[in-house]
Amino acid sequence: MLTNAPQSMIRYLCNGKLCEREALMWNKIVSNRIEVLTEELINYLREPPQDIMEPAYVVVQSIGMRRYLEMEISRRLSICANVRFLLPQGFVDEIVRLSLKSGETADSMDMTGLVFSLLRILKKCINTEEFESIRRYLLPSKSSKMGVITRKEFVFAGQLADLYQRYLTYRPGMIRDWDAGGEKNDWQAILWRGLREVYNGIHSAEMSLRFKENGVSKDNKDIKLASRIHIFGISSLPPLYLDIISRLAEYTNVNLYIFSPVMDLQKTDSKDEDIHPLLGSLGVLSLDFAKLLKDTEKKRPFKSNKRLYNDPVALVKDRSPTILEYIQGDILKGRVAESRYGVPSDDCSIRIHACHTGMRQVEVLRDEILHLLERDEELQPNDIVVMCPDIEQYAPLIEAVFKGESDTNPIIKDESDKNSMVKAGRSEHTGIPYIPYSIADRAVSQENRFVKLITSLYELISGRFKASELVEIFSLDVVKSKFRVTPEDVEKIVRYITESGIRWGIDEGDRKNFLRIDSRGIDSDVRTVRFGLDRILLGLSLPETIVQRATDEGEGERTRYISYKEIFPTDAGGSVTSESLVKFIDVVSMIMEIEKRIRGEKKSDEDRRYERRFEEWVDLTCDIIKEFIPENDIEFEEEAQEVYRALREAVDVYKRTGPDRLWDIQAFSSFVEVCVSTYGGSGGLLRRGITFCRMVPLRNIPFKVVALLGMDDGAFPRKGLELEFDRIAKNRVAGDRNGRDDDLQLFLEAILSARNSLIITYTFVDQRSNKEMPPASPVAQLLDYINSHFYVVGDNPPSIKDLVVKRHPLHPFSPVYFSGDKPWSYHRVYCDAARKIADGNKGTQKRPFTKPLEIKEFPKVLTLSELEKFFINPQKEFLTYHGFSLPDESLVVKDDEVIEFGNLEEYNLKREIVEESLFEGDESKLCHRFIRQGFMPAGKMAELSYRVLKDDTSSLIEKLEEYIKGSSQHIKGEVNVKIEMNSFKGEVKVRGEVDLYDGKNIVWTASKLKAKHRIRAWLRHLWLMVFMEGNPIDFSGT
């Protein structure tokens, strides 16, 4: 008995002897429609096997196809039970084990184990002559030993592992030759033989070749495969797999369900001049597979060969065929029609939308889908699939456009009212119906929020500990849920970081470790997280009378600076009771504690080598995750368990195959993401509503509406990474896969999978140069074919290109969208904006507030500074006084060192130099204070910068010295101001402080003289005049 074979795959037969069965079936069912193949499969499943407990085995090429079949089988048979779905690689791995002899064991070279093994072997081989090029790539120039595992080494090992797995499938003969000692001096062959020392069993390539050549081993006489095996929806297979399946037909019933875009595929040649142009350029994989299938059939003719093609054009009875149906029919025939097709002007089966940006593409797609739902009463959101080359790029845009204000009330067809598209679920604000949707194929860091947390934390700690990366930590879902961080908190945290001077680095030791220089005499702690926290905490501990650093608007109010142990306080934190500040300190303190635990308590502050053994990293990572799990949240707990499970399984593999070496933090961070994606699964496919997914091979599931999003020039076909030493890429043979051919096949299958409509969107304008851009090359080929073989019938018809391609304006509120009998957009707010634009903004202007503003009582007391600010910027001060929080454009998180000053920063520094020189009389320590406040770079750069600023202000200081050298007088008091405006009538006290020099009020600026300086001088003059005379100022007006 074959002990390593899964028990569910085998059964005993013929009294324990392996018997030939005369009735074994080797069938081929070919169709251009997955629905037809599905119907054939279900017909076979209706017939129960002799052993009712025996499952039916269905081999599919993607998880999406498995879910599609599960739903179809359940719909047709009321239940989908006792059906085991397998992917081709897993199926073949189980089959070829039947070739093992007695006493032999199989080795499953899984991806994780191969990576660990390669990391072990590379260290042994790196100093040999054959590995000189690899050594130059992996090791620093002065190093000859491989110590700690780095990210570069881990990524390289991952690329090699993937390459060897492809060799096992596509080059088994080469692997067998390497096993026999071939290519002794080739480094890839040497590494492989090193792997064979770790994996001393029989690998999949050897088992596959044995099964292909000899079939089931004679030592496995007691074993017989299940009686029902269905290979479903196949449009391409590796040649080795096809040979194995052909050999398998000697022992059991095998049904091949082939998806073929064209009739007589095996007679079609891509070099044929009469071949359909779209098939010849896009269907290279299908044509190559046809050749392989033809060779297989010569070796083992099929017992049954069903050809179940459906011509979309022939199926149309009560209307004229659409552009999409004509194209599908021509591809099916494999030839181009002799004459052009005429189509009506209302044909919308293929729509190509040219947009300005990715965001506009998603907005246009939403409107197009709403139009389709309104026109077709039977169309449901789950009949629509949207595929894009890069789902990560468009996922945030999809969320922003489709999520809306709420998704609790999805679109529901109203059967009682045929004129109504929906009966529930419209947004009260925009008027757009909610459309249920799901996003599949997201990166594991997006699917599992703890993976994102761990990778973000490890990247933050191992890098420069940038301020921008620290802000991103507060935006993670895990952190927001654990510490109840709100968007308002994040805004305040940005203020804490910017105003406290945090730029990069944890503390002084972290900076010294990163810079690797002798920092004696340099303030290495400035602009670090510890530096910023100390400033904030000191500011909280001091009285509120310590004012913050003066800004441009507070000119004339000199700031008195104090310090404690060279820490200058800042009031960026505001109140000590601020919840946002508490959250900021809690999270930062937790991160710093994690950094200390990762570093190890025995290491000094300047030793920031984050290196540990693999098992220690796993334990530490699991502990960190436990600390961040929000209380009583099942979803977060399940995601955490997924990471735990993947890491523990990886530890078991590492104990068998891994190297006895330390891992650095960046290498392990990369491993966490790869590990969870390997052991985890993809969600979102065919779950609810519209399915958004990535364009991946072999996803030829039929949908009524197929949309391709982001088909920009250069974005598709995608440019994959091709290794210089890839043997498959250098010497391609029929059946080999490559990224470009896969993508072209994807586009062809997308055309064939659409039943009613094909929607394509792309960006047609370069955002930098504003030059027009073409769509992706396959889209351009499709458009060229349509222009050449179709025309629009009727009176004064548009051109076929104008019918198919729609260029959209830059803005969604363009009046073009809302003109005519059939407006394009459903957005109520955009409609109002478009109407105002069309009317030339005539009539009543829209008010800035949704309801009347509650005016506060006029203040009884004002400071002179507040009065100056109001006259300089009345709108801002009015809104601020009434409680509006205006965005501060100066609050920009920066990660770089202070080398150049912005205009406002330079002005502030110059003003302080002037103040210190004139009024304090001691500027010797000013440069050092600027450094300790984070305004200047450390070291010699600060001295040079300060000297330049000092030289720029020297002439102003000399002029001011002439004005203030006389007697000085400090005026402090208040005046009464009579005000009669609108409904207010009364007096306001204006309190102020002004310095006079020889009886003169000196108003100066370290920048160019502007209107606001004249306003400030005039108001102070008025205040002084009234104060000296004792008469009130009279302000009257409206």
Helix (H) or strand (E) holding 1001: strand 1000-1001
Cβ distance 793 to 800 under 8 Å? no
Give the residue among 626, 664, 670 at the shortest CA–CA distance from 650: 670
Q: What amino acid is encoded at 798 in this protein?
A: P
Full 3-state SS string of 633-694: CHHHHHHHHHHHHHHHHHHHHHHHHCCCCCEEHHHHHHHHHHHHHHHCCCCCCCCCCEEEEE
Token couple for 390 = 């890069």
> Looking at residue 633, what is its pLDDT?
87
Higher pLDDT, residue 735 or 925: 735
Higher pLDDT, 973 or 705: 705
> Tokens 């993607």, residue?
62
pLDDT of residue 867: 87
pLDDT band per the 50, 70, 90 thresholds, residue 922: low
pLDDT of residue 109: 86
Q: What is the largest CA-CA distance in the chain?
A: 124
At residue 513, does pLDDT exceed 80?
A: no
Which CATH number applies to 7-103+210-309? 3.40.50.10930
Residue-level pLDDT at 1036 = 41
Higher local confidence (pLDDT), 730 or 965: 730
**Regarding predicted confidence, which is higher, 171 or 822?**
171
* Range name among 16-20, 206-210, 249-253, 735-739 with the lowest pLDDT average: 16-20
Which two three-digit tokens encode residue 321? 């065929």
Q: State the amino acid at position 470 in one-letter form.
A: L
Question: 942 or 802, which is more confident?
Answer: 802
Per-residue pLDDT, averaged over 825-831, amounts to 86
pLDDT score for 751: 95
Mean pLDDT of all residues in the chain?
83
942-997 pLDDT, tens digit each: 788 888 888 888 888 888 888 777 777 888 888 888 877 666 677 888 888 888 88
Architecture of domain 111-200: Orthogonal Bundle (1.10)
Q: Report the pLDDT value the prediction gives residue 385, as an integer from 0 to 100.
A: 94
- Residue 487 pLDDT greater than 50, yes or no: yes
The answer to which of 239-253, 303-317, 401-415 has the lowest mean pLDDT is 401-415
CA 447 from chain centre, in angstroms, equals 10
Nearest-angstrom CA–CA distance, 487 and 357: 27
More confident residue, 922 or 1038: 922
Question: Residue written as tokens 């436990």?
Answer: 626
| Among the listed residues 777, 761, 656, 669, the one whose alpha carbon sits nearest the alpha carbon of residue 719 | 777
- The percent of residues above 70 in pLDDT, for the chain, comes to 85
If residue 946 lies in a helix (H) or strand (E), which one and from where to where? helix 940-964
Between 825 and 21, the more confident residue is: 825
Cβ atoms of 465 and 665 within 8 Å: the answer is no
CB contact at 8 A, 217 and 100: yes
Of 550 and 415, the one with more pLDDT: 415
pLDDT band at 13; cut points 50, 70, 90: very low
Neighbours of 59 (CB within 10 A): 27
pLDDT at 142 > cutoff 70: no
If pLDDT is split at 50, 70 and 90, which confidence band does 545 have? very low
Q: What is the mean pLDDT of residues 54-63?
A: 90
770 φ/ψ sector (left φ>0, alpha ψ -120 to 50, else beta) = left
Given the structure tokens 């992706």, which residue do they identify?
776
Distance of alpha carbon 475 from its chain centroid, rounded? Answer: 14
Which amino acid would we find at residue 56? A
Q: What number is the average pLDDT over the span 226-252?
A: 90
Instruction: State the architecture of 894-965 in CATH terms.
Output: Orthogonal Bundle (1.10)
Predicted TM-score (pTM) of the model is: 0.83
Give percent above pLDDT 90 in the chain.
39
157 falls in which pLDDT band (50, 70, 90)? very high
Regarding the domain delimited by 350-441+684-808, which CATH topology (the fold level of the hierarchy) does it fall under? Rossmann fold (3.40.50)
DSSP conformational letter for 702: -
188 vs 508, higher pLDDT: 188
Lowest mean pLDDT among 137-141, 383-387, 992-996: 137-141
In the three-class reduction of DSSP (H, G, I as helix; E, B as strand; rest coil), residue 218 is classed as helix
| Res 161 pLDDT > 90 | yes
| The predicted structure's pLDDT at residue 12 | 33
- Residue 941 has what pLDDT? 79
Residue written as tokens 């204070």? 929
Q: Which residues of 433-463 are buried (b: 16+ CB within 10 A; e: fewer)?
A: bbbbbbbbbbebbebbbbbbbbbbbbbbbbe
Report cis status (omega within 30 of 0) of the bond before 717: yes
Give the chain's end-to-end CA distance (angstroms, integer): 101
The dihedral built from the CA positions of residue 802, 806, 809 and 812, taken in this order, carries a sign that is positive
- Identify the pLDDT of residue 407: 43
Per DSSP, the three-state class of 248 is helix
- Annotated domain spans of the chain: 7-103+210-309, 111-200, 350-441+684-808, 444-547+566-679, 860-893+966-1038, 894-965
Residue 794 has, within 13 A of its CA and on its CB side, a CA count of: 12
| Mean pLDDT confidence for 25-31 | 91
CATH dotted code for 444-547+566-679: 1.10.486.10
Q: How high is the pLDDT of residue 455?
A: 93
Examine the pLDDT at 802 and tell me if it is beyond 90: yes
Whether 7-103+210-309 shares its CATH topology with 111-200 is answered no
Closest of 380, 433, 382 to residue 687, by C-alpha: 382
